[in-house]
Amino acid sequence: MKNSMVIAAVVGVCLMPNLVRADMSRDLCNSQLPIVAQAIRLRQNGVPIATAEGMADSAFRIDKNLFGFLISAIRYAYENPEGASKSLNNGRMLEICMKNVRGY
C-alpha cells in the first residue's frame, strides 16, 4: 500500500507539468482566437490578408507556436470563411490551437 502511494505521488508530480501546460494552452488559445473571428470579418469586408495577419504579431512574443497557429488559422479564414467560422463555433479550432501550443 505504501509503495503504491509513493508511485501514485511520483506519477502525479511527473504529469503535473503536462496538466499545467494543457490549462495554459487553453487560456492562451481562448484569449487569442477572437483574432481569427476578426479576420473572418475583415475578409468579408475585403481587407487584405496582411492586415489580418498583423493582428497576430503580439502572439509571437507570447508563444511562437501560438503565433504560427494564428497565422495558419487566419490564412484558412481567408480561404474558407464559412469553414473557419464553423470550426470556431464547434470548438474544433480551440482543440487544434491547444494541440499546437502544447506541441502534442
Write the pLDDT tens digit of every residue in 11-69: 444 444 554 555 899 999 999 999 999 999 999 999 999 999 999 999 999 999 999 99
Task: State pTM to two decimals.
Answer: 0.78
State the pLDDT at residue 104. Answer: 87
In angstroms, rounded to a whole number, what is the distance separating the alpha carbons of residues 89 and 94?
9
Which of 104, 47, 103 shows the shortest CA–CA distance to 74?
47
With 60 as the cut, is the pLDDT of residue 4 above it?
no
Residue 73: how many CB atoms within 10 A of its CB?
A: 24
Assess whether pLDDT exceeds 50 at residue 10.
no
The C-alpha cell at 82 is: 464559412
Assign 71 to helix, strand or coil. Answer: helix
- Residue 3, pLDDT score: 53
- 56 close to 50: Cβ distance less than 8 angstroms: no
Q: Give CA–CA dist 38/46, Å, rounded.
A: 12
User: What average pLDDT does this structure show over 70-85?
Assistant: 98
